Amino acid sequence: MQANGAGQGQETGDLSCLNSAQNGESSSAGHSNGLLSSTDNGNSGGTSNGASTGPGPGSMKKRLTQAEEDVIRLIGQHLHGLGLNQTVDLLMQESGCRLEHPSASKFRNHVMEGEWDKAENDLNELRALMHSPNAIVVSSLWPKPETNCVDRERMKFLLLQQKYLEYLEDGKVLEALQVLRGELTPLKYNTDRIHVLSGYLMCSHAEDLRAKAEWEGKGTASRSRLLDKLQTYLPPSVMLPPRRLQTLLRQAVELQRDRCLYHNTKLDNSLDSVSLLLDHVCSRKQFPCYTQQILTEHCNEVWFCKFSNDGTKLATGSKDTTVIIWQVDPESHQLKILRTLEGHAYGVSYLAWSPDDTYLIACGPDDCSELWLWNVQTGELRTKMSQSHEDSLTSVAWNPDGKRFVTGGQRGQFYQCDLDGNLLDSWEGVRVQCLWCLGDGRTVLASDTHQRIRGYNFEDLTDRNIVQEDHPIMSFTVSKNGRLALLNVATQGVHLWDLQDRVLVRKYQGVTQGFYTIHSCFGGHNEDFIASGSEDHKVYIWHRRGELPIAELTGHTRTVNCVSWNPAIPGLMASASDDGTVRIWGPAPFLESQEADGLNENCSNMDS
């Protein structure tokens, strides 16, 4: 189709907008590309092309562009779906466009009426339209000339399959058998499916057929679904893809959400949940960058914090030798002490929840040779493990089965143990800084003193290099899908790596990272955000796709050692600091806008 919507003087059959003179129709009130003739707009001086000599109130001053024609057809399709058929007819008449090619309309009606022989004959007409010179094919889904015959067979197969199933549902077994043997089988297309279809002859009743075929049954629903499949083989200039306007609007909404820096709620694909009259914008006040609670129960530096996998609890570990388990109120999101676990003589620098949140393992700093495995439900110490007083067990990670864990440290220990602390396997000579178990249940990732992360398989005792940095990796964490790793790198800051492609994806700016161990995290819905502590006493938050922080959270007075984002409540985050406090961050409280703006000393806006 030409950009200005004019025809070639002869109907090719695939143009969506044709004036009456071009498509061979005659009328006393003729249209030319949507322009009314002089007799229609009330002017006495008409011209041969149907445009008036003077611009009347209803005349169009320019020809429709291709984009304008497309919009008219999209609107017409949407209105047709709402049942506003007279409005559609008027729109098409006034614009000079047509919703779809007449052959496509005939085909649609025959399919919806179940007139299968006529629909099959329509395929011959449509075949000629699918690859005419002016057909607009904008997707690889629509067939190319060399696949024309194959696509026609596919379309015919789908038609005959529906015909066969409807005969079976109506109890017309002989007719169905004739379709199977005389029409479907000779196509020699998708023989495996034909074998499946033949099995439906044994169905004793209609309900059994619908269940086994996973089919809605004879009627509008199944025929509409069939038509949707058939339309994928036709170019849009002949027949628009189903619900095309809704699809475009949904894509636009999704793109706006994707570009929204602070979007942190579950995606709802329904257009009914949004306004199409305004652009999508999330306020920073809805984002977890305001202090909601300050936990001061620890009496020394707080080195680590971690929400449970179900988000109902928070564990914090401190230099004061205690672990405090906090309960998260599901309504107010306020935290209160559930229990305190004591006796960690060296302090607690790392914590790991078991996959089912029944157990919690606590590790100490470099000079600690012990780890503690607590039953969180009862508060009882199940295991206190120490292989040797020369060990340094500073990191731990749970196997996904919840029955094993790995632990290690910088003195060369790397163990796999059961829940009773029994040694199952060991890897010699690996100076471990941080650990993570992947979801396959076999691979353990370990960062070491060679500024790298390697993958270790305890089953076949193989290892391989995955990440290589130029500076020490102080800590790392892995996304839920196991694809991305977030590293805190000494003197460099926070780096994002793709573990599958083994490439550095992004370096996040702003954070102050020296040689202290600082733990960052993924967070928010779909883990779209990244948060990290910093030696400049702040918490930094980035959108995963952007290098610059979207928020800097102030309030702590010393180094922020660890940040944990609640996996079940995307608007809740915790940070642990050397100032002895744990801060709970959430959205702005429900105050007047002026008062809420006054809270900005806790959250610096970085997106301007």
In three-state secondary structure terms, 221 is helix
What is the pTM for the complete model shown? 0.71
Task: Yes or no: say if 537 and 528 are a contact pair by the CB < 8 Å rule.
Answer: no
Query: What is the chain's mean pLDDT, rounded?
Result: 83
Question: Phi, psi at residue 226, to the nearest 5°?
Answer: -60, -45
Whether 379 contacts 337, CB under 8 Å: no
- What average pLDDT does this structure show over 394-412? 92
Per residue in 157-182, pLDDT tens? Answer: 999 999 999 999 999 999 999 999 99
Q: What is the pLDDT of residue 608?
A: 35
Residue 268's pLDDT is what?
Answer: 65
| Average pLDDT of the segment spanning 197-210 | 92
Instruction: State residue 84's pLDDT score.
Output: 94
The per-residue pLDDT for 34 is 33
**545-554 per-residue burial string, b: 16 or more CB within 10 A, e: under 16:** eeeebbbbbb
366/87: higher pLDDT: 87
Residue 25 has pLDDT above 90, yes or no: no
Q: What is the DSSP letter of 250?
A: H
Q: How confident is the model at residue 5 (pLDDT cuts 50, 70, 90)?
A: very low
Give the per-residue pLDDT at 62.
67
Query: Looking at residue 240, what is its pLDDT?
Result: 87
Rounded Cα–Cα distance for residues 118 and 78 (Å)? 27
The answer on pLDDT for 8 being more than 60 is no
Q: What sign has the CA pseudo-torsion 199, 205, 206, 211?
A: negative
CA–CA distance from 371 to each of 171, 374, 415, 519 (Å)? 71, 10, 12, 19
Of the chain, the percentage scoring pLDDT greater than 90 comes to: 59
Q: With 60 as the cut, is the pLDDT of residue 192 above it?
A: yes
The pLDDT of residue 42 is above 50: no
More confident site: 583 or 19: 583
- 431-471 confidence digits (pLDDT tens): 999 999 999 888 999 999 999 999 999 888 889 999 999 99
Three-state SS for 481-524 is CCCEEEEEECCCEEEEEECCCCEEEEEECCCCCCCCCCECEEEC
Burial (CB count <10 Å: 0-12, 13-18, 19+), residue 461: exposed
Does residue 32 surpass a pLDDT of 50? Answer: no
Residue 596, pLDDT above cutoff 90:
no
Q: Do the Cβ atoms of 403 and 433 come closer than 8 Å?
A: no
At 590, the pLDDT band (50, 70, 90 cuts) reads low
Alpha carbon distances (Å) from 427 to 339, 367, 384, 396, 520? 35, 20, 21, 14, 27
Would you say residue 213 has pLDDT above 60? yes
- Closest among 415, 535, 434, 450 to 485, alpha carbons compared: 434
Structure confidence at residue 479 (pLDDT)? 96
Share above pLDDT 70 across residues of the chain, in percent, rounded to a whole number = 83
> For residue 15, what pLDDT is reported?
42
The mean-pLDDT minimum among 115-124, 311-320, 532-541 falls in: 115-124
| Contact criterion met (CB below 8 Å) for 74 and 245 | yes
Instruction: Dig out the tokens for 83 from the structure.
Output: 């049942």
Tell me what pLDDT residue 337 has: 97
Average pLDDT over residues 253-274: 76
Cα(340)–Cα(431) distance, integer angstroms: 31
